[in-house]
Amino acid sequence: MPKDPDVVLYTDGACSGNPGPGGWAAILKHPATGTVRKLSGGHRKTTNNRMELAAAIEGLKTIDASKPHRVHLVSDSQYMIHGLTQWIEGWIANHWRRGKKAGAPPVKNAELWKELLALTQRHDMTYEHVRGHSGHPENEECDRMAVRAIEALRSKPDG
């Protein structure tokens, strides 16, 4: 982890079926004060990748954007971490397509990637991939929270 982040954001997404009902969760920790904030939610018909992105988006939305913060994002989603650190510049250069050639397929979940990019650009971001289901305490808690969000969706009548 980089030295002295203002906020450490742990995220996870889950889906029961892919697509199917999905949940996302985020834990924000403020190391200087020890403050912890937990968020979760879900969607009735979604994918795991969309829930991974939603977790980061919703977590970043809660961070005060009036000034840049040092934010360390921790996720078990290689899709999200690689997207933010390796792929996104190419997607932008290719007008949100997955290649330079005419007719290249569009980037999946482009609207979420664009929203996530805008939120990350407000802050000084660093990223860390952790192995899922490996005992990382915050990752395991985010997973439990995301699964509970799915269960909450299932317990409510469609509406």
Catalytic residue flag (residue 133): yes
Locate 39 and state its tokens: 């968020």
Cα–Cα distance for residue pair 82/129, rounded to 1 Å: 9
Catalytic residue among 12, 42, 43, 72: 12
Catalytic residue among 13, 22, 23, 83: 13
Catalytic residue among 22, 43, 52, 123: 52
Catalytic residue among 89, 133, 135, 158: 133
The DSSP result for 37-48, as a single string, is: EEEEEEEEEE-H
Kind and range of the H or E run holding 53: helix 48-61
Residues 33 and 57 sit within 8 Å (Cβ to Cβ)? no
Catalytic residue flag (residue 76): yes
Catalytic residue among 43, 76, 83, 138: 76
| Nearest C-alpha neighbor of 113 from the set 97, 124, 136 | 97
Catalytic residue flag (residue 52): yes
Catalytic residue flag (residue 4): no
Catalytic residue among 22, 42, 138, 143: 143
| Nearest C-alpha neighbor of 129 from the set 51, 76, 59 | 76
| Active site residue ranges | 12-13, 52, 76, 133, 143
